[in-house]
Amino acid sequence: MSGLGKLRVAVIGAGAAGLCAARHLLSRPDTFVPPVVYELSENIGGTWVYEERVGYYDNGLPIHSSMYRDLRTNIPKEVMSFPDFPFAKHLPSFVHHTEVRKYLEQYCDHFRLWDHIQFGTSVASVTPVDVKGGWNGLAWNVNSNNVVDHSKSTTERFDAVMVCNGHFYDPYIPAIPGLEKFKGTLMHSHDYRTAEPLAGKSVVLLGAGLSGLDIAMELSNVEAQVILSHGQRPLTLPPGVQQAPPVTSVLDDGTLEFKNGERTKPEVFLFCTGYNFTFPFLDNKVGVKVQEHLVWPLYKFLIPPAYPSLFIVGICRAICPFPHFHIQSQFILSVLDGSFHLPSHEEMEKDIELDITAHRARGIATRHILKLDSEQWAYNDELAHLGGFKPLPRYWSNLYESNKVFRARDMLNYKSYSYTVLDNMEWKVHDLHGQQ
Ligand code: FAD
C-alpha cells in the first residue's frame, strides 16, 4: 500500500464497467474507502437500459442506450458474464437484453452496490490537483451536477478516478461527400428500436458490424428491401438482403453511389457505423486525446502516463466486455495498492509508442488499434500476471472464439446454439435449431 491510509476512488458511470469497478473496490475495505459511483441516469446498466424513445429524456439529457427492442446477446451467457457471477442457470445461452439488465441488478444486490451509487448525478469535470503526500503526488477534484436541480453542484476530492462512461452513445457518421443532399430519412443505429416503422421500405444500411447484421436481418423479416453496404467479403445473409460495396458519395438528386459505380435512391439511409469516444469532463491538462478512434496515450489501454491515478476503463473494442472489465478492475486495484509497480512515466510512454508502431508495422490502421479481438486473451492474461490475480478460466477464450466461428458460419442460426460448461471445465455445444 501507499502509506496514505485508505484510498478514496470515484467511479464515473454505473453501467457494467462501473458496477464491476465498484464491486472490486468494495471487496477490499482494508485498502479502499467505499467508492462513490456517479450515474447521471436513474438506473444502473447503461447500454442495457432499453428506452423506446429516441433523442432526449424529459430532463433534456440525450438518450444513452443504443439498445433495440428485440436484441438478444451475441455472446453466450456462459462467457458473457462476470467470471464471479454467472447468469441464472435456467436462461438460454443467448439471452434477451431485458435479462442482462436483470442480471446487472442482481449483481448490484449480491455485491451490495446500490448504496454507493449517486443517481441523477452527472460528472461535469475531473481535474487533477497536486497534493503533497497524495498517491503519486496527485489527487482529483470531481465536480458533479444534479441533473434535475442544476443549482446543486458539488466538488469532491479523490485519490483516484475510474472513468466508466461507455462508448456506444455518441453516433459516428463517416464523412460521405454530398451526404447533405440525401433526401430520404437519415438515421443511425443509435436511434433504431424496431423494424416495423421501416417495413416495406427501401433501406441502404451502411456497416456490417454486429448491429448492422442484426438490423439487416430484422428488416428483412418485415419485407424491407435492404442493401447492406460494407467493405468485407460477401456474407451469408437472408435472401431478402442484398450486398453492395461501401457508399462513396451522394449525388445532387440524392442518389447514393457505391464504390463499384452502381447507384440507388433508397427511402432510408441507415448508418451502423459505430460511435465516438467522448470524455467531455476530462481536464485538457490530462492530455488524453481521441484521434481516428484511438484514445491515447494510455498505458495498457487504461492509464495516462502523466496521471497514473486516472483509469479509463473498457475502451477496447471487439472484446468480451464483462470479463474484460473484471480483469481491468483488478489490475487497477493492484496498481493502486502497490502490488504492481507501474513503470516510470517515460517507460510507459515508450511502451505505448512501441505498441502503436508495432500495430502500424502489421498494417493495422490507427482506427483499429483498440480492436483487440483474439488478442484480448493475451491482454487479459498479461494484466492478471502483472497484477498477481487469477486469470480467466481456461475454457473462456476457447468457448468465446468458437462462438465467433459459429457466428461467421451461420449468422442466421448461431443464437439457437446452447452451451454447457462441464465440471472439468470442458464445454459442449448443442444446436437446438438442428433439432427442431
Ligand atoms: P455503458 O453501459 O454505456 O454505461 C455507461 C454509464 O455511464 C451509463 O449508465 C451512463 O449514464 C453513465 N455516464 C456517462 N457519462 C456520465 C457522466 N458524465 N456522469 C455520470 N454518469 C455518466 N456486450 C456483450 O457482452 N454482449 C452483447 O450481446 C452486447 N450487445 C450489445 C448490443 C448493442 C446494441 C450495444 C450498443 C452494445 C452491446 N454490447 C454487448 C456492449 C455493451 O455496451 C457492453 O457489454 C457494456 O454494457 C458496456 O458497459 P459500460 O459500463 O462500459 O458502458
pLDDT in tens, 335-393: 999 999 999 999 999 999 999 999 999 999 999 999 999 999 999 999 999 999 999 99
Whether residue 2 is predicted with pLDDT greater than 80 in this model: the reply is no
Task: Please give the Cα distance from 425 to 164 (Å, whole number).
Answer: 31
Cα 98 to the chain's mean position, in Å?
Answer: 17
Whether residue 432 is predicted with pLDDT greater than 80 in this model: the reply is no
Task: Please give the Cα distance from 78 to 52 (Å, whole number).
Answer: 28
* Residue among 303, 8, 3, 9 at smallest CA distance from 133: 3
Task: Please give the Cα distance from 125 to 77 (Å, whole number).
Answer: 36
Task: Please give the Cα distance from 369 to 379 (Å, whole number).
Answer: 13
**DSSP element (H, E) containing 264:** strand 263-264
What DSSP string runs through 271-283? E---EE---TTB-
CB-ligand 1 contact for 14 (6 Å cutoff):
yes
Contact 135, 3 (CB under 8 A): no
Task: Please give the Cα distance from 271 to 205 (Å, whole number).
Answer: 6
CB-ligand 1 contact for 100 (6 Å cutoff):
no
The pTM of this model reads 0.97
pLDDT at residue 389, rounded to an integer: 98
SS3 229: strand
Question: Quick one: average pLDDT of 153-181?
Answer: 97
Cα 218 to the chain's mean position, in Å?
Answer: 22
Query: ∠ at Cα 391 (378, 400), nearest 5°?
Result: 60
User: Which residues are registered as beta bridge partners of 54?
Assistant: none
**What one-letter code names the amino acid at 353?**
E
Closest residue (by CA) to atom 46 of ligand 1? 16
Q: What does pLDDT average to over the chain?
A: 95
Share of the chain above pLDDT 90, in %: 91
Whether residue 434 is predicted with pLDDT greater than 80 in this model: the reply is no
Whether residue 1 is predicted with pLDDT greater than 60 in this model: the reply is no
- Tell me the three cell numbers of residue 296: 491515447
Whether residue 307 is predicted with pLDDT greater than 60 in this model: the reply is yes
pLDDT at residue 436, rounded to an integer: 38
Confidence of residue 424 (pLDDT cuts 50, 70, 90): confident
Contact 45, 26 (CB under 8 A): no
Task: Please give the Cα distance from 382 to 377 (Å, whole number).
Answer: 8
pLDDT at residue 239, rounded to an integer: 86
Closest residue (by CA) to atom 14 of ligand 1? 165
CB-ligand 1 contact for 73 (6 Å cutoff):
yes
* 135: Cβ contacts below 8 Å, ≥ 6 apart: 2, 4, 7, 159, 160, 309, 336
Task: Please give the Cα distance from 430 to 426 (Å, whole number).
Answer: 14
How big is the chain by its Cα radius of gyration, in Å?
A: 22
Task: Please give the Cα distance from 329 to 87 (Å, whole number).
Answer: 20
pLDDT at residue 150, rounded to an integer: 80
pLDDT in tens, 92-114: 999 999 999 999 999 999 999 99
Give the β-pairing of 36-38 and 9-12: parallel
Q: What are phi and psi of 101, to 5 degrees?
A: -60, -45
pLDDT at residue 134, rounded to an integer: 87
* 59: Cβ contacts below 8 Å, ≥ 6 apart: 147, 148
Closest residue (by CA) to atom 32 of ligand 1? 67
User: Which residues are registered as beta bridge partners of 127?
Assistant: 141
pLDDT at residue 149, rounded to an integer: 86
Closest residue (by CA) to atom 43 of ligand 1? 47
From the alpha carbon of 280, which atom of ligand 1 is closest? 18
pLDDT at residue 59, rounded to an integer: 85
**What one-letter code names the amino acid at 73?**
T
Contact 163, 282 (CB under 8 A): yes
Whether residue 81 is predicted with pLDDT greater than 90 in this model: the reply is yes
CB-ligand 1 contact for 164 (6 Å cutoff):
yes
What DSSP string runs through 133-195? EEETTEEEEEEEEESS-TT-EEEEEESEEEE---SSSEE-----TTGGG--SEEEEGGG---S
* 80: Cβ contacts below 8 Å, ≥ 6 apart: 73, 87, 100, 320, 321, 322
User: Which residues are registered as beta bridge partners of 146?
Assistant: 121
Contact 269, 256 (CB under 8 A): yes
pLDDT in tens, 224-274: 999 999 999 999 888 889 999 999 999 999 999 999 999 999 999 999 999
Contact 45, 105 (CB under 8 A): yes
Output the CA 82–ligand 1 centroid distance in Å: 15
Output the CA 89–ligand 1 centroid distance in Å: 24
Better pLDDT: 2 or 419: 419
